[in-house]
Structure 1
Amino acid sequence: MQPIKAVALVSLLAAGGCATGGQPWVELAGHRYQVEIADDDAERARGLMFRDELARDHGMLFIHDVEEPQAYWMKNTRIPLDILYFDDARRLVSQQRDVPPCALGDGCPPYPSEAPARYVLELNAGEAARLKLENGAQLTFSADIPQP
């Protein structure tokens, strides 16, 4: 069994981590979200930490080097999130909905994927329910999102 990595849920400034000057987007269940990209260890470790809000129709897309079991936590994350895990084919394989903020530092619990994942999309809590997401949903990327 592969070890599950715990990755801090944190964030970049809007300009950080983008492949181009434009704002990349993803589309899920017919809805488009502007996303910030976290595609290296430092960006994935920072994620959405210390944010007081996440704009409506925005999110953060984490891109991992390989598809494997993932686990995220809410250390220093101040806003509730939906954490959505996608495989190499960008199919939804696991969901952690309405994950609460955590101020316990290293005592924050992990929220693991139920299957190996390469992409993780964090959205405001409640988005997965609003979209009525089911595993198998397809994630579409704008052309400026880097592909490993």
Structure 2
Amino acid sequence: MNSVRNPVLRSFCGWLTALLVVASVAFASGEVRAASFQPLEIVTQSGVQVFSVEIATTEEEKTTGLMYRKELPDGKGMLFDFSPEQQVSMWMKNTYISLDMIFIRADGRILRIAENTEPLSTRIIPSGGLAKGVLEVSAGTAQKYGIRPGDRVAHPLFNGH
């Protein structure tokens, strides 16, 4: 077995190994997070519901989404930016918690809601039309707060926020 004799190289290798271990533990434990949190409001017939959402804008953030997480507290969620408006398809692969997926048009109106999605499923969940964003929240949130297609989402991602 060869050992690294150069102290600088040995230090670098040790640092790199530690970084890789931390990254793999974070990923496996579901600690991969989107870059920022922002407020998002949904105006329903019963009032305004406010959420704190992680924003998924990069391909890595959108691909990972809420995978590997064991919980999603009430009032929290993830907003996926699919600019420009387009047909969107989602799935629940490697997602352990049931979600409500709220598909949102460019004007901020809710297009469709896929409620109580099946954890770990590879079944495709389509937007059913052009969507600019998808909000994922805990399963049952749409019913709990009376969120319906046609309700308005207020967030800088959407026109007329």
Name the TM tier (shorter chain). Answer: 0.7 to 0.9
Aligned to 1:122: 136
Aligned to 1:82: 100
- The amino acid of 1:138's aligned partner reads R
Which structure is higher in RCO with an 8 Å CA cutoff and minimum separation 6?
1
- 1:65, CA displacement in angstroms? 2.2
TM-score with structure 2 length normalisation?
0.72
Give the match's secondary structure for 1:66: strand
- 1:76, CA displacement in angstroms? 0.1
Q: Following the alignment from structure 1 to structure 2, what is the Cα–Cα distance between the partners of residues 147 and 111? A: 22
Q: Which has the higher helix share?
A: 2
TM-score with structure 1 length normalisation?
0.78
Give the match's secondary structure for 2:134: strand
Size of the aligned set, in residue pairs, is 126
Aligned to 2:57: 39
- 1:88, CA displacement in angstroms? 0.6
Preserved CA contact (<8 Å) 2:108 2:158: no
Q: Following the alignment from structure 2 to structure 1, what is the Cα–Cα distance between the partners of residues 77 and 141? A: 10
Give the match's secondary structure for 1:85: strand
Regions of 4+ moved over 6 Å: none
Please report the RMSD computed on the Cα atoms of aligned residues, expressed in angstroms: 2.0
Q: Give the one of 154, 158, 161 matched to 1:140.
A: 154
- The amino acid of 2:63's aligned partner reads A
- The amino acid of 2:138's aligned partner reads N
Decide which structure has the larger Cα Rg and report it. 2
Counterparts in 2 of 1:1-148, with a 5 A limit? Answer: 12-13=32-33, 16-18=34-36, 23-28=37-42, 29=44, 30-102=48-120, 108-141=122-155
Preserved CA contact (<8 Å) 1:11 1:49: no
Preserved CA contact (<8 Å) 1:86 1:93: yes
